Chains A and B, each alone.
Chain A
Amino acid sequence: MNDTLLSDPAVIAVVVLGAVSVGSGIAVFVVDSMARATFALLVSFLAIAGVLLALDLVYLAVVTALMMTIEMAIMAVFMIMFMMNPAGLMPMTMVHNGRGSAAVGFVAFVALTVGIWTTDWPSRRGQPPADTTRQLGEAIMGSHMLVMLVVGIGLFATILSGTILATGRGRYDRFGADLRATRPDDPTPGGLPR
Chain B
Amino acid sequence: MWGLWTAVGLVVAAGLGLGLVFAAADRVALTGAGPKALVEPVRSALRSLLEQRRTTLAPDRLLWRTACAAVPVLALLSMAVVPVGDRTLLSTSADLVWFNAMEALLWAAVWLIGWGPNAVHSLVGGYRFLAQGVAYELPLMFAIITAGLGAGSLRTTDVVAAQSDLWFVVTMPVAFVVFLGSAAAFAFWGPFAAPAGADIAGGVLSELSGVERLLVEAGRVVLLGASAAMAAALFLGGGSGPWLPDPVWQLLKTLLVTAVLVGVGRRLPVLRPDRAVELAWMVLVPATLLQALVVALLVLAGAYG
- Report B-chain residues with C-beta under 8 Å of the C-beta of A70: 104, 107, 133, 137
Tell me, yes or no, whether B118 is within 8 Å of chain A by CB.
yes
B112 touches A58 (CB 8 A): no
Tell me, yes or no, whether A28 is within 8 Å of chain B by CB.
no
Q: Which residues of chain A (45-70) have a CB below 8 Å from chain B?
A: 58-59, 62-63, 65-66, 69-70
Tell me, yes or no, whether B235 is within 8 Å of chain A by CB.
no
A39 touches B112 (CB 8 A): yes
Tell me, yes or no, whether A14 is within 8 Å of chain B by CB.
no
**Residues 129-170 of chain A: 1 if any B CB is under 8 Å from the residue's CB, otherwise 0?**
011111000000000000000000000000000000000000
Question: Count of chain B residues with Cβ under 8 Å from any Cβ of A?
Answer: 34
Cα separation A66 to B130 with both chains bound (whole Å): 14
- Rounded to whole Å, the gap between the CB of A79 and the closest CB of chain B is 11
Question: Count of chain A residues with Cβ under 8 Å from any Cβ of B?
Answer: 30
Contacts across chains A and B counted by CB atoms under 8 Å:
85
Cα separation A72 to B101 with both chains bound (whole Å): 14
B93 contacts which of A35, A69, A131 (Cβ < 8 Å)? A131
Cα separation A39 to B66 with both chains bound (whole Å): 11
Which residue on B lies nearest to A61, using beta carbons?
B94
B282 touches A192 (CB 8 A): yes
Cα separation A189 to B137 with both chains bound (whole Å): 22
Tell me, yes or no, whether A97 is within 8 Å of chain B by CB.
no
Given A62-B101, A87-B118, A192-B282 in contact, is the A73-B94 Cβ separation under 8 Å?
Answer: no
Which residue on B lies nearest to A188, using beta carbons?
B274
Tell me, yes or no, whether B252 is within 8 Å of chain A by CB.
no
Residues of chain B touching chain A, judged by Cβ–Cβ distance below 8 Å, are 58, 60, 62-63, 92-94, 97-98, 100-101, 104-105, 107-108, 111-112, 115, 118, 127, 130, 133-134, 137, 153-154, 274-279, 282-283
